[in-house]
Chain A
Amino acid sequence: AQSVTQPDIHITVSEGASLELRCNYSYGATPYLFWYVQSPGQGLQLLLKYFSGDTLVQGIKGFEAEFKRSQSSFNLRKPSVHWSDAAEYFCAVAPTGTASKLTFGTGTRLQVTL
């Protein structure tokens, strides 16, 4: 069965510092890969997605992620964090195909200090 691992439960960074959130997946083939963000009391908002092609994908709010097949990883990055980025971040995978139910990691809570 597929699984997603986000090894960092909680990360604190200073505003303006760079950010990298880790995500590793276990799956038989390369799945579709997603990063979602959830602010307190809000639903999930898609930051970016990888289906195929260029392994460096750009998303909203200045985020990017890099797919590394050899490492089964899809890490999320941002060069300079803003206080408004404080939220919980979820990595998710879905099998290629029509059903595409998502399997989520346990999430990483990002705290930004001023």
Chain B
Amino acid sequence: GAGVSQSPSNKVTEKGKDVELRCDPISGHTALYWYRQSLGQGLEFLIYFQGNSAPDKSGLPSDRFSAERTGGSVSTLTIQRTQQEDSAVYLCASRRYNEQFFGPGTRLTVL
């Protein structure tokens, strides 16, 4: 069946612009996670959704980062006023039982 999909696969933006990253989880998976992979910080957790609510937002690095999930499915991660340190690969995962399935990621480059 279809896996986790993310769009766009690559995004180049200018410093100060807002960006939206999209994640389509595997159908029926109620838990969804966002992670960030960067050279300096490795792989780090950002936010967790159970259904449409986010009980754990502890990994969001600043208030410029926000995320939502609608219909218990698609999730959008929004970064406002992007900074160069936001450049990274943003990975989304959805979970079945205790196993997370990852999407291919969105590579964000902030110029």
Contacts and interface: CB of A to CB of B under 8 A. Distances in A.
Contacts, number: 50
A23 interface: no
A107 B43 CA distance: 9
A104 B102 contact: no
Interface string B57-73: 00100000000000000
Nearest to B95: A100
A99 B42 contact: no
B104 A42 contact: yes
B25 interface: no
Majority secondary structure of chain B interface residues (helix, strand, loop or mixed): strand
B43 A43 contact: no
B98 A94 contact: yes
Interface residues of B, number: 24
A101 interface: yes
Contacts of B95: 100
B100 A104 contact: no
Interface string A63-103: 00000000000000000000000000010101000111111
A104 B59 CA distance: 13
A99 B48 contact: yes
Interface in B43-97: 43-45, 48, 50, 55-56, 59, 91, 93, 95
A44 B42 CA distance: 13
Contact of A100 (B4, B43, B100, B102): B100
Shortest Cβ-Cβ A-B pairs, 9 listed: A104-B43, A44-B102, A43-B102, A43-B104, A101-B45, A106-B42, A43-B103, A101-B48, A43-B105
Interface of B: 4, 31, 33, 35, 42-45, 48, 50, 55-56, 59, 91, 93, 95, 98-105
Interface of A: 32, 36, 41-46, 49, 51, 90, 92, 94, 98-107
